[in-house]
Structure 1
Amino acid sequence: MQHSSPASRTSELLLAATLALISLFAFSYSIDAVPPYHTDENFYVESVKNMTASGDYITPVYHEKKRFAKPILYYWLVAASYKLFGADHASARLVSALSGALCVFVTFLLARRLFDSRTAFISASILPGLYLHAQISRWAITDMTVALFILTSLYCFIRAVDTEKIHAGWIYGFYIFIGLGFMTKGPPALLIPAATLATFFALRRDASLLKPLRIFQGLTLVIAMNLPWFTTMFLLHGDEFSDHILGAEIRDRVMHDLPFSFYYFGVLFRYHLPWSLFTLAALIFWFTPQTETDPSTLKDSLFLRIKNRAGGLLEDSNKSLLFCLAWVVAPTLIFTLFRIEHSRYLLPLSPALAMITGYFLCQLADSKQISNAYFKYPFVATLGIYMILAFAGGVALWTIQPLFEVPLSVIFMPLCLGLGSLVLWRMHRKGERFRLVLSLAFLQIIFLGLLNGAAHPFLDRYPMKHFSEIIRAQGNGDEKITAYQLGSHRARLGIMTGQMAINVEDVQEIVNVAASPQPGFVVLREEDWNTHFQSLPLKIIARDTGWKKGGKKGPLIKAIWQEGILSQKDNLLETYFLLGLK
């Protein structure tokens, strides 16, 4: 741990808080935009709306059925957000946005304990620019909140053991945040910290901390925090609840026939670009022989030199780095063995990856013995990615602007990437490495904010936002929404209205909806309306267009290139109708 004066610590905390506020702004910028979205958001947006309307804050209800899939705490947090900001999907998402921003602040606190203040600020600046972290900070699902609790629990552990005397208060804080995480998502909140510490202790061959951990008392505390809700649910719903918990939530996640793969190792790389390029450079540096810094190793075999380098991580001077590596490796191996492939399962590992990368970048800035190639190659690759994205984005916007007016915020994204890359290259040529890293971090934060809040919703054009606004304005909030052969559009409607939205595939089901005395809305394509449903007692309330799916892309792109995009409008767009009962 780095020791500093009280005045210095205060200024550092203010700086970290400012960074967290910037992150919150980036995560919440146009947070109502859909896409991006996750289909699981439906569960929480609608269930909590039902919860606040009925006054039953114990049993979530989704599509008129009891939902047992997750514990209750996240529902309560979303309900609180509904009370403060209104019952809509943007309010539901604010819980994740705030959790993501708090993760930035806690990462600073933890990295300062493990390393030093400069590493802490670099690490905290990297975290909101990790794609996985930025993306899930905009979704109304449990993962970002449980990631915050896991991160805070590990911070409490480090605070407890970072001095000669074990602090019992911080140890119990470790278990309290595990308990809160368990109330949010269940076993992963316990599994990830336990796997991290067990691996760290095993590598260090140090069991001396097991007794101060007060495992029995701590687990008793976790059980005491969770038992009231689980007991109440069992008393209310009996075997229906217990069978789901033991079956769908535990047995089915462990016992299945999904094939083995290295999916999660790919997630660690591609969902954390471009920073994973620097993380990879760090691992190459730490685990391969560096003969230029230690010529005496030239006489050793390659295997012995690699073994000696890896063994160096077990030294006391590297225990903080070893802790972060254990935090990444152990859960990744466990999820790989479970073989259930969801990229968001690795979200709690993102702070560790940020700290590993931040520590390495500070090492590069401080040492003249480390080869410049360890920074230059990932940096040049990052600029290459940015320039490709800037060029491709500019071409895409220039191509489609005859069809739709392009917002300034969307235009700004490729301009920001292009100009930002030129500024970063100039800083690299001048050797301003520390400022360069910070500038890269902030450029990445801005880019992801514009991508998720402006570019993605604009380019992935869809009519469901317009329809959802009309449904919320004209309806009473209880109408059922029926989509005809629209796939994922059903999920978008459910997220943005907070109402029951179903997708049907059979013509007769729409006929039944039209004949029902219950109020409702129907969404379908103009082509299907003309073919099957014009004679039904349905009236057109609104219409909008979206991209047409399917078809051969090659000939279409060639035609657009030769004749312009307006000539292919009918091949690119299709019209959707929002219908109500007459």
Structure 2
Amino acid sequence: MAISEPASGQRRAFVLDLPRRFVRILDGASARHGRASLLLVAVSLLAFLPGFFQLSPIDRDEARFAQATKQMLESGNFVDIRFHTQARHKKPIGIYWLQAATVKAGEAVIGPSARGSIWLYRLPSLFAAIGAVLLTYWTALVFVSRRGALLAGLMMASCVLLGVEARLAKTDAVLLFTIMASFGALARAYALPAAGRKGDLKLAAIFWTALAAGILVKGPMAPLFVGLTVAALAIVERSGAFLKPLKPLAGLAWCLLLVLPWFVAIYYVTGGAFYQHAVGVDMLGKVTEGQEGHWGPPGTYFLAAWGTFWPAVVLVAMAVPFAWRARRDEKVRFLLCWVVPSWIAFEVAATKLPHYVLPLYPALAILAVMALERGALARPGSRLAALARFWPVFAIIVSLGLGFGFFWLGSGFGLAAWPLLLLAIVLLWMAALAFPKGGAEGAFLTAVCGALVLYVAVYQAMLPQMRALWISERLAAVVREQGCPAENVASFPYQEPSLVFLVGTKINYGLPNEAAALLKKGGCALAFIDDRFTPSFEKHAATLELKYHAVATISGFAYNGGRPVAITVFRSDEAAQ
């Protein structure tokens, strides 16, 4: 007993001392804006870069965006948007222009191969995600201290959902960046005393330019978030005078000047088809029915936030009672008007995707920091403090799920990643144990460190090695080995967008008889046929008296269809016609 007690005391002291060390780092970084920004960029890179260069194109949205940009570069048409052989009339042009710019810059450095490098298409998302973290800090300065603003920025930098979007060549990280710039300007205009509210050119320029950029990236989404907040504030304030610093009339004219040229051009280029599909099918369809199987009942986003806003969601949950008690406070009221109307609107809409509510997470982070600074989390009740146990539990669930995935997908147990996963779980347990006595700040910072280790294990060590998932990448490798051009490759029924991106725009998606006819033309020609349809292909091949042979069989797991697949690669033995 005399031996165990000191050992136990040393362990307890270590658990409590580590969070305190992290708090001292937070104190030092918050002394100056430059230090705070540097820390946020460093943590963002640690959170977002693992797997950024290694992960294969993700189906289906990322691959569609990247391929559409690739075709813009191939065709030189930077107005209309095409994917493979079809028009892609869903989202405006903004993200494609940004991706095209980064790929063109990449071509200047690494040559023509840049167009096939998915990480170049992801750079706008990475830069925007880091920018959104910094803008969270900038916006939070209106509501909390510099130290608190830094903490809010760290909540976004470590956020699971933002980390996912930072790695995907699509719109949502960029949209978040534009929305945060608008909200930062709006918050500053709102915070001005009534007597000092006059036109502010700098704030107005930031607000309306960011709003225009958001429209060019994702149409009505940026105006929706900002507009619902403005409407809610005008209702509770019984006045819209807080908009005066933003120069509404001149600003709206500037916004229209920025966005109208492309919207007019796309109308004439497509004969109005873009608007018929983007508004009539895509946008309205998501409101009235769950598109592409993404339906969910009200409450879906509340449940999803426990995973997508991890690890900050623990402190956000603890701050809810404070937000209710302080709802009449001017600053709290602004944040609630930011969150509540949009959250309700998305819960009511039929289509549910986790990233839709991402622009609300910075407001929740700032609200949690306000509760912390005002002492609402200093001595949480036992029930609230128990929420800290969610930090390690989430990591354990992820670790077990990935371990099972490695085993099931034929990649073993991923032993190289388990030390990292174990370290992450230990850090998160330390955060949970330190919370009651070590304070919310130190506990959360420890949880952030655990989260960073977890992201390295998941994105860098595990996912890239799960080869069974990356079917398109393996099929594209066969094409390179055989040396066949994309126009002489056919695939059925596996026709994921990533295959177009990796093999080439001219790949043929058709039926088994069309694949057999393509091989009959002779030369270097390949057909990717799922084993379920091999008999049909063989029947048509016999009818054509086709000479061919199998060169490979790619087995894997189609994560979009949720089923195992086996695809045989057939090569023509016919002489070129």
Partners of 2:42 and 2:551 in 1: how far apart? 41
Q: Which residue of 1 aligns with 2:386?
A: 377
Match of 2:45 in 1: 24
Alignment-derived partner of residue 104 in structure 1: 133
Match of 2:338 in 1: 327
Secondary structure of 1:113's counterpart equals coil
Q: Hey, what's the Cα distance between the residues in 2 that align with 1:237 and 1:200?
A: 39
Corresponding position: 1:234 with 2:267: yes
Change (3 A) 1:547 1:333: closer
**Residues 390 and 418, structure 1, Cα contact 8 Å, conserved in 2:** no
Relative to 1, partners in 2 of residues 1:425 and 1:334: Cα closer, same or farther, differing over 3 Å? closer
Letter in 1 for 2:350: R
Query: 1:412: Cα distance to partner?
Result: 3.9
Say which of 501, 516, 533 aligns to 1:511: 516
2:165 is aligned, of 116, 136, 141, to 136
Q: CA deviation at 1:414?
A: 2.1
Q: SS in structure 2 opposite 1:577?
A: strand
Write the deviation string for residues 339-369 of structure 1: whole angstroms up to 9, x where unpaired. Answer: 33233221222222222233334445x865x
- Tell me how far apart the structure 1 counterparts of residues 457 and 184 of structure 2 sit (CA, whole Å): 31
Amino acid at match of 1:383: P
1:450 and 2:479 equivalent? no
SS in 1 for 2:496: helix
Give the corresponding residue for 2:442: 435
Q: CA deviation at 1:524?
A: 3.3
Partner of 1:172: 205
- What's 1:523 paired with? 528
Residue 233 of structure 2: which of 200, 223, 237 is its match?
A: 200
CA distance in 2, matches of 1:453, 1:509: 40
Cα distance in 1 for residues equivalent to 2:328 and 2:362: 21
Find the aligned partners of 1:171 and 1:102 in 2 and give their Cα distance. Answer: 19
Q: Percent identity?
A: 20
Q: 1:523 to 1:284 in 2, by over 3 A?
A: farther
Tell me which residue corresponds to 2:395: 386
Separation (CA, whole Å) in 1 of partners of 2:452 and 2:356: 22
Secondary structure in structure 1 of the residue aligned to 2:491:
strand
Is the Cα–Cα contact under 8 Å of residues 96 and 140 in structure 1 kept in the other structure?
yes
Give the stretch that moved more between structures: 346-355 or 238-247.
238-247
Question: Which residue in 2 is equivalent to 1:282?
Answer: 319
Q: Secondary structure at the match of 1:479?
A: helix
Q: Distance in 2 between matches of 1:218 and 1:135?
A: 33
CA distance, structure 2, for counterparts of residue 547 and residue 56 of structure 1: 36
Aligned length: 523
Matches within 5 A, 1:335-484: 335-364=346-375, 368=378, 370-373=379-382, 375-390=384-399, 393=402, 404=411, 410-425=417-432, 427-428=434-435, 431=438, 433-459=440-466, 461-462=468-469, 463-471=471-479, 478-479=486-487, 481-484=489-492
CA distance in 1, matches of 2:485, 2:39: 38
CA pair 503-276 structure 1, distance change in 2 beyond 3 A: farther
Partner residue in 1 for 2:74: 53
My pick for the range that moved more, 182-191 or 272-281, is: 272-281
Query: Structure 1 regions of 5+ residues with no counterpart?
Result: 1-6, 288-308, 554-571
Q: Which residue of 2 aligns with 1:313?
A: 327
- Tell whether the 8 Å contact from 1:30 to 1:453 is kept in structure 2 after alignment: yes
Cα distance in 2, alignment partners of residues 433 and 185 from structure 1:
37
Partner SS, residue 438 of structure 1: helix
Q: SS of the counterpart of 2:468?
A: coil
Offset of residue 193 of structure 1? 0.7
Q: Distance in 2 between matches of 1:57 and 1:279?
A: 43
Instruction: Return 436-445 or 27-36, whichever deviates more.
Output: 27-36
**Map of 1:529-540 to 2, 5 A cutoff?**
529=534, 532-533=537-538, 536-540=546-550
- Cα distance, 1:260–1:125 mapped onto 2, change above 3 Å: closer
Deviation at 1:245, TM superposition (A): 4.6
1:215-262 CA-partner distances (Å, limit 9, x unpaired): 222222111111111222223332334433553355545566998930
Q: Distance in 1 between matches of 2:354 and 2:559?
A: 26
Supply the distance in 1 between the matched residues of 2:290 and 2:174 (Cα, whole angstroms).
30
* Aligned equivalent of 1:545, options 544, 555, 560: 555
SS at match of 1:209: helix
Shift of 1:578: 3.6
* SS state at 1:247 partner: helix
**1:147 and 2:210 are equivalent in the alignment:** no
TM-score by length of 2: 0.79
Q: TM-score, normalised by structure 1?
A: 0.78
The change in CA–CA distance for 1:216 and 1:130 in structure 2 (over 3 A counts) is same
Q: Secondary structure at the match of 1:546?
A: strand
Counterpart mapping for 1:85-100 below 5 A: 85=106, 86-87=114-115, 88-100=117-129
Change (3 A) 1:527 1:183: closer
Q: Is 2:170 the counterpart of 1:114?
A: no
Report deviation, 1:65.
3.1
Contact 2:484 2:526 survives alignment (8 Å): no
Letter in 2 for 1:351: P
Q: Evaluate the alpha carbon distance shift between residue 272 and residue 461 of structure 1 in structure 2; reply closer, same or farther with a 3 A threshold.
A: same
1:485 and 2:493 equivalent? yes
Q: 1:423 to 1:334 in 2, by over 3 A?
A: closer
The answer for the alignment partner of 1:562 in structure 2 is: none
CA contact (8 A) 1:479 1:521 kept: no
1:516/1:284 CA distance change after superposition, 3 Å? farther
Deviation at 1:192, TM superposition (A): 0.8
* 8 Å CA contact 1:123, 1:359 repeated in 2: no
Query: Which residue number in structure 2 is paired with residue 266 of structure 1?
Result: 303
Q: Could you tell me which amino acid in structure 2 is paired with residue 261 of structure 1?
A: P
* C-alpha distance in structure 1 between counterparts of 2:224 and 2:405, whole Å: 44
Query: Mean Cα displacement is larger for which, 431-440 or 104-113?
Result: 431-440
Match of 1:66 in 2: 87
The alignment partner of 2:156 has SS state of helix
SS of residue in 1 equivalent to 2:438: coil
- Residue number in structure 2 paired with 1:303: none
Report how far residue 158 of structure 1 moved.
Answer: 2.4
Give the Cα–Cα distance (whole angstroms) in 2 for the partners of residues 271 and 384 of structure 1: 14
**Residue equivalent to 1:559:** none
Instruction: Report the Cα distance in structure 1 between the residues aligned to 2:100 and 2:558, rounded to whole angstroms.
Output: 37
3-state SS, counterpart of residue 138 of structure 2: helix
Report the 3-state secondary structure (helix = DSSP H, G, I; strand = E; otherwise coil) of the residue aligned with 1:321: helix
CA offset digits 1:110-157 (Å, max 9, x no partner): 112221122212211111332222112211111211111011111122
Task: Indicate conservation of the 8 Å contact 2:492/2:528, yes or no.
Answer: yes
> Residues 344, 482 of structure 1: CA spacing in aligned structure 2 closer, same or farther, 3 A cutoff?
farther
Counterpart CA distance in 2 for 1:141 and 1:234 is: 23
CA distance in 2, matches of 1:418, 1:241: 48
2:35 is aligned with 1:14: yes
Structure 2 portions without partners, runs of 5+: 1-27, 107-113
User: For residues 328 and 192 of structure 1, do their structure 2 counterparts lie closer, same or farther at Cα, with a shift above 3 Å needed?
Assistant: same
Q: 1:101 offset after TM fit, Å? A: 1.5
Between stretches 333-342 and 347-356, larger displacement belongs to 333-342
Deviation at 1:519, TM superposition (A): 6.6
The alpha carbon displacement at 1:14 in A equals 3.0
Q: 1:78 aligns with which of 56, 77, 99?
A: 99
Q: Which residue of 2 aligns with 1:221?
A: 254
